[in-house]
Chains A and B, each alone.
Chain A
Amino acid sequence: MSDTATPADTTLRTGPGRLLVAVYSVFTLAATARGSYQLATRFDEAPLAYGLSVAAGLIYLVAAVCLARAGRTSRTVALVSCGVELVGVLTVGALSVFVPGLLPDDTVWSRFGSGYGFVPLVLPVLGLWWILRVHRADHR
């Protein structure tokens, strides 16, 4: 690799990390705002679906904050939250496709995030890739 940057220069919040933090922040807002609005106005219709959206939003928030803080502990937490996110979007996505009756209303992760241009599916993969890349550069 032609990377000349020293390990100390490579932190989570610079380079591609800068874009990831921006995308995570926007999705934090989108998911929590959507979920809490639905919980507040139509709790009876699909509490599980709306709760899932809020949960997704909180995980996005953790990822955004930890990527931006860029410390060692933050890196681990960000890694875990991206992992949870990936499992979440795959599980909820698959359930929404194969067991349509389970969640009466859509969540951020339904149909693998098709309502949001599939960004919820791509985002954790990019997040994991970036965190592991920084981690490896740090250990060289």
Chain B
Amino acid sequence: MVDWLTMTIQMASLAMAGWCLVSTFRDRPMTVPHLVGMGVLWLLVIGQAVVSAVAMIGGDRPAETVMFVSYLATVVLLPPACAVWGFMERSKWGPAVIAFACLVLPVLLVRLEQLWNPVV
């Protein structure tokens, strides 16, 4: 886990959530720019996952490895799954799905950081 990457993902995710909430309240469906935004966010998440995987292969493993890997898998799968599900909906509820995903993502990252670097 790279700290600044986690922070960047969290900020980007919250920005994405804000943008999608605005779209929802303005009664707009999901558009291609939303999808591109989610793509960028996903690439950042994949970057973090790859860095963490390389560190783990190199022997730098968190104490609860199984838990960490399952959280990491969830974090990687959440953006594309919700992007597809939201894009299928041609109403304001499409961006609402993305907003939800983008609000959950920073929380999951906090949990990942706790598992990676337990503060005892």
Tell me if B86 counts as interface (CB < 8 A to partner A): yes
**Which listed segment binds B: A19-27, A51-59, A75-83, A88-96?**
A19-27
Q: Which of A15, A22, A33 contacts B85 (CB 8 A)?
A: A22
- If the complex has contacts A33-B70, A37-B67, are A19 and B100 also in contact, measured as CB distance less than 8 A? yes
Chain A-chain B contacts (Cβ-Cβ < 8 Å), number = 40
Q: Report the Cα distance A22→B78, complex, angstroms.
A: 10
Tell me if A16 counts as interface (CB < 8 A to partner B): yes
The reply to whether B94 and A23 contact each other, CB–CB distance below 8 Å, is: no
Tell me if B60 counts as interface (CB < 8 A to partner A): no
The reply to whether B70 and A19 contact each other, CB–CB distance below 8 Å, is: no
The reply to whether B97 and A14 contact each other, CB–CB distance below 8 Å, is: no
The reply to whether A14 and B91 contact each other, CB–CB distance below 8 Å, is: yes
Q: Report the Cα distance A17→B100, complex, angstroms.
A: 13
Within 8 A of A (CB), among B82-105: 82, 85-86, 88-89, 91, 93-94, 96-97, 100-101, 104
- If the complex has contacts A14-B89, A26-B104, A29-B74, are A19 and B96 also in contact, measured as CB distance less than 8 A? yes
The reply to whether A16 and B93 contact each other, CB–CB distance below 8 Å, is: yes
The reply to whether B100 and A23 contact each other, CB–CB distance below 8 Å, is: yes
- If the complex has contacts A23-B100, A37-B67, are A15 and B74 also in contact, measured as CB distance less than 8 A? no
The reply to whether B70 and A18 contact each other, CB–CB distance below 8 Å, is: no
Q: Which of A17, A18, A26, A29 contacts B94 (CB 8 A)?
A: A18
Q: Report the Cα distance A23→B82, complex, angstroms.
A: 10
Q: Report the Cα distance A29→B70, complex, angstroms.
A: 10
When distances are taken between beta carbons in the complex, the residues of chain A under 8 Å from B74 are 29, 33
Q: How far is the CB of A134 from chain B (nearest CB, A)?
A: 14
Q: Report the Cα distance A19→B78, complex, angstroms.
A: 14
When distances are taken between beta carbons in the complex, the residues of chain A under 8 Å from B97 are 18-19, 22
A residues in contact (CB < 8 Å) with B = 14-19, 21-23, 25-26, 29, 33, 37
- 9 intermolecular pairs with C-beta atoms under 8 Å apart: A17-B93, A18-B85, A18-B93, A19-B93, A19-B97, A22-B86, A22-B97, A33-B70, A37-B67
7 closest A-B pairs by beta carbon, nearest first, are A18-B89, A18-B93, A22-B97, A19-B96, A15-B93, A19-B97, A19-B93
